[in-house]
A and B are shown apart, each in its own frame.
Chain A
C-alpha cells in the first residue's frame, strides 16, 4: 500500500474517532434533555 493510502487511513481514523466521541456526547445530551423535559412536563 502507498504512503498516501496509509496517510488517508490515519487521518480518517482521527476524524472518525473524534466524530464518534462528539456523536456520543450529543446522544447523551439529547437523552438527558428528553428526561429533563419529561420531569418539567410532569406525568
Chain B
C-alpha cells in the first residue's frame, strides 16, 4: 500500500511548471532591470543602484522564509508532526541563502556609495544578527541524533529568532541609520522616487523572487521527504 501523499509535497509536474514560471519571471526581471529601468541619481549610486532590484526582493524572500519557519515551528510544537519540522527546516535553509545574498550585495553597493563596506548601524547589524540566528538554527539541527529533540529545540529557536525579523524591517524607522529606506533608495532624480519603468522592474523582480522562494521550498521539501525515506530504510535494514 502506498503511503498517503503529504499536502506539502507538490506533484512532479506542478514543480516543473513552477520552475519554468520562476525562471521566465527572473529573465523578465533581468530584462526590465537592465533595459527598462532608468539610471538612478548619482547620490544613490547611478548604475550601481540597479542592485536594489535584487537586494530588496532577496530581503523580502528572506522575511517570507523566516515567517514560514515561525509558523512551521508553532505547528510542530503543537502537533509534533514531522512535516511541520521539515517545512521549518527547509524555509530556514532557504532564508539563510537569501539573507546571504542580501549581506553580499549590500556592501558591494555601499563600498562605492558610502565609501565603506560595512557600518555597524541598526539595519546592517540586525540583519547580520538575523543571519547568525538562522545559521545557528541550522547548526543546532546537526548536534543531536534524536530527531524529535532536535525538532523541538529548533522550533524554539525558530520561534524566538523571528522576533528579530520586524526589528530588521523597522530598524530604518526606529533608529537613525545610514541605510536608505522606502522609495528614496531608487530615486531616479532627486526627490522624484520610483517612476513607472522602475516600479515595473521592482515588482516583476519581487514576484520572481517570491516564485523562486516557492520553487526552492517545494524542491527542498521533496529532498527532505526523500531523505526521511532513505533513513527509514536504513533503520529498518
Residues of A within 8 A of B (CB): 1, 3-4, 6-7, 9-11, 13-14, 17-18, 21, 25, 28-29, 32-33, 35-36, 39
Closest chain B residue to A29, Cβ basis:
B223
Main SS class of interface, B: helix
| Binary per-residue interface labels of chain B (88-126) against chain A in the complex, 1 for a CB within 8 Å, 0 otherwise | 000000000100110011001101100000000000000
The segment from B2-10, B50-58, B181-189 found at the interface with A is B50-58
The reply to whether A3 and B223 form a contact with Cβ atoms under 8 Å apart is no
Is the CB of B226 closer than 8 A to any CB of chain A?
Answer: yes
Q: Which residues does chain A contribute within 8 Å of B45, judged by CB atoms?
A: 3
Interface residues of B, Cβ cutoff 8 Å to A: 45-48, 50-51, 54, 58, 97, 100-101, 104-105, 108-109, 111-112, 212, 216, 219-220, 223, 226-227, 229-230, 233-234, 237
Name 7 interchain pairs, CB-CB below 8 A, sorted by A: A3-B47, A11-B51, A17-B100, A29-B226, A33-B226, A36-B230, A39-B237
> Are A6 and B226 in contact (CB-based, < 8 A)?
no
A36 to chain B, nearest CB (A): 6
Query: Cβ of B112 and Cβ of A1 under 8 Å apart?
Result: yes
Q: A17-B97, A25-B219, A32-B226 are in contact. Are A6 and B54 (CB under 8 A)?
A: no
Asked if B108 and A9 sit within 8 Å, CB to CB, the answer is: yes
- Shortest distance between the CB of B74 and any CB in chain A (Å): 26
* List of 4 A-B pairs having minimum Cβ-Cβ separation, nearest first: A3-B47, A10-B108, A3-B48, A39-B233
A23–B91 CA distance with the chains assembled, in angstroms:
17
Chain B residues with Cβ below 8 Å from A4 are: 47
Pick from A3, A7, A13: contact of B101, CB under 8 Å: A13
